[in-house]
Amino acid sequence: MTTTLPMTPGRRVTLAAGTPLALAVIGWSALTGVAWLGQGSYPVSVHMRGHYRTLRVTADAGAISIGPGTGISIGGTARYALTRSSVNAHPIAGGVEISSQCRQLTGPCTFDYRVTVPAGQRTAASLGSGTLTAAHLSGPVALHDRSGHLETRDLSGDAVLTDDSGPVTASAISGRSLSVSDYSGSITVTGLSSADVTATDRSGEITLVFTRVPDRVTVSDWAGAIRIVLPPGITAYHVRASTRSGHAVVTVPTASISPHVITATDASGGIEVTRWEGSPPA
């Protein structure tokens, strides 16, 4: 015997709201399946003639690797699903921007680029999601990764490194100034000889290992340990270290009149300011 449930106002509301939602989920799943089946790709090759003070490269997702070359060039592969992505060049103040954008609702879309720039070139790169790397550059750089690993090595110009979600790893940084920030992820910089260094993190450990005595170091963290490792020697530092939850350990020579100022603040985590002995630590 089958019992028919009465159509109450509550059931009517549930059907009215749930039916379109169920149809939307089914439609989205179908579209996603078609997108994965309808993938395509095309090569990207851009060579810029003339002199540009600034090169800016932006991409929604993928991998960008930046290195030295005799001129400005971008080579790689763009992958998309259903709707072909776009790669455009347009002028900006003092230079040119190469922007790569996805034009689809769902499915894979990436841009995998190898970028070369001449010596001394000012370079900026922004990646929405993926791995952003730069190495052996002598000009100023500004790199931003919204979600992924940001990795640099052998930068001799001023550098600004930012990551919203993912680790920042850098080595052999010798420009006059370095600014590195992360919202969620660790920051690790080794082989650091910059005179002016600023590092900030909302959630993650910060490690800075210096090979040369810095003039000014400012480090702040909301949640994570701070470790500052300075070169061996008798140099005294004006150290200001404070943490609300953790211990501050300072083992380097200190003097309030020193021109070498180290400022470290942490809301939740320990602070260590020390020197390395023997070979520089990793």
What phi and psi, each to the nearest 5 degrees, are found at residue 14?
-65, -45
Residue 15 lies in a domain: no
Q: Is residue 182 part of a domain?
A: yes
Dihedral angle computed from the Cα positions of residues 62, 67, 73 and 76, in that order, rounded to the nearest 10 degrees = -30
Do 233 and 201 have their domain in common?
Answer: yes
Q: Please state the pTM of the whole predicted model.
A: 0.85
Total domains in the fold of the chain: 2
Give the residue numbers spanning the domain of 121.
39-125
Residue 201 lies in a domain: yes
Which residue matches tokens 């340990």? 225
> How many CA atoms does the CB half-sphere of 170 hold within 13 Å?
36
If asked whether residues 153 and 242 sit together in one domain, one would say yes
CA angle 222, 145, 126 (to 5 degrees): 140
- Give me the pLDDT at residue 17, please: 43
The reply to whether 153 and 259 lie within a common domain is yes
Give the number of residues written for the chain. 282
Q: Quick check: 51 pLDDT over 70?
A: yes
169: nearest Cα among 132, 139, 137: 132
Q: Please tell me the predicted confidence (pLDDT) of residue 282.
A: 56
pLDDT, position 24: 35
Question: What pLDDT is recorded for position 92?
Answer: 86
DSSP H helical ranges for the chain: 9-37
* Burial tier of 102 (Cβ tally within 10 Å: 0-12, 13-18, 19+): buried
Chain segment 115-164, per-residue pLDDT in tens: 999 999 999 999 999 999 999 999 999 999 999 999 999 999 999 999 99
3-state secondary structure 196-256: EEEEEECCCCEEEEECCCCCEEEEEECCCCEEEEECCCCCCEEEEEEECCCCEEECCCECC
Tell me the CA distances in angstroms from 151 to 27, 74, 168, one per residue in order.
39, 19, 6
Digit-coded pLDDT (tens) for 4-48: 545 455 444 443 444 443 333 333 333 344 444 457 889 999 888
The predicted-structure confidence for 188-245, as pLDDT tens digits, reads as follows: 999 999 999 999 999 999 999 999 999 999 999 999 999 999 999 999 999 999 999 9
